[in-house]
Structure 1
Amino acid sequence: MATPHIAAELGDFAPDILMPGDPRRAKRIAEDVLTDARLITDVRGILGYTGTFESRRVSVMASGMGQPSITIYATELFQFLGAKRIIRIGTAGGLSPKVAIGDVVVGTSAHTDSAMTAARIPGVHYSHAPSFALASAAVAAASAASSDGSKVHAGPLFSSDHFYLSRPELMAGLTAYGTLGVEMEAAALYAVAAEFDAEALAIVTVTDLIATGEGMSSDDRESKFLTAVSLGLAAFKNS
């Protein structure tokens, strides 16, 4: 059945879905990576496609920006449209001195200060964790994923509701406790997957460094995400 935000029927989506934030990035993955991809939904400009990769059905659909947006789409995909596994393919600001621009982070946990989590289980500081099977498969595939000198890291992310708010003390504290990067969706995706007994993972490319303000060019932003895509597809295949 079509949902309020996705114009698709049960069976239109594959059980495995890659989920970038940007609809144009979803379109590029469908056209450049998948075979015989067809457009399934374009409600509110959020594009979703299903095709094949190495003879395996795979879908790709944008999530928009932020935890409320990805919560809506992931909920409808898991609850009504047959999704079993969603891997977010996104970007992050680097926090740890261990990560460099162009590196990829497999999010093995996700901190957040969002009130969305507090509303799920009142009184509990919920731990946002991905599918172990997906995360371990992505990490195992990392050695063959990059040919441009960038590195793949596994570790915690911080999912923020604020893009422009400067919070140097908070970022310093997260960095001191081993957080690798800050982004805006992983924690919400992990919580939705847990709610529906499904699997999720976030694989993000570091596009800027919070401490220095150094950033990746817009052209590189469009090309560097392919390492994350390859890790996501390997995770689907091998987990």
Structure 2
Amino acid sequence: MKLRCLLIDDEPPALKVLAKYISSLNELEIVGQCRNAIEALSVLRQKTVDVIFLDIKMPRIIGTEFLKNLSHPPKVIFVTAYREHAVDGFELDAVDYLVKPVSFERFFKAITKLNRLTGREVPATTTNEAPNPAAFIYLKVDRDMKKFFVNEIEYIESWKDYVKIFLTGNRHFLVKRPISAIENILSDHKFIRVHRSYIVSLSKISGYNAFFLQIGKYEIPMGRLYKQSVMERLQNIE
């Protein structure tokens, strides 16, 4: 039986990313998407929910207070932009606490933990997380759509409304797409956002310290807001 998921977040882009991640896992299904706690209460009265993906900073009722007021709450995974509420989240027996922007790898780790807590098997993805030499994406370069093989992409750098995509062999291309759009496109592959201006391929990282990632001869900075999730991911690479 699939785990029935309720998504609660007042930001539509955040709901969209979560919905995409959930749809890539065979044993998860979405039974509701809500913008606030009031809408969520209505769903909980009408449907069976196994796990809530819950934002904290929302209008009218914040996520932690909403959870405290549920008499028989389902499992909960907090998804928020605010790290300072992590202690509150775990005091409420949250399965996990995800800090936005959430990578697919970090989301998958939370679901693995959820499945272990509920005695289920580790989730099976409908997409292959391992680097696939045949995988590719199309992006517009100048006036033409260009094919990019995913395993050739080393890192992506934001240039205002554009991104510069750096490939193996010292090649690079300028693409008129915001970095957030590229992050979504690559979410099913082994890439991770490490800075507001950078996305990197995990397989291309040759070394790192507390401040930089080494990719070939380039040092890519780690942003303060991304550092914790990046370090966790690097330390858990199998």
The question of a shared fold, defined as TM-score above 0.5 by the shorter chain, is answered with no
The structure, 1 or 2, with the larger RCO (C-alpha pairs under 8 Å, 6+ apart) is 1
**TM-score, structure 1 as length reference:** 0.32
Q: Rg: which structure is higher?
A: 2
**TM-score, structure 2 as length reference:** 0.33
Larger proportion of strand: 2
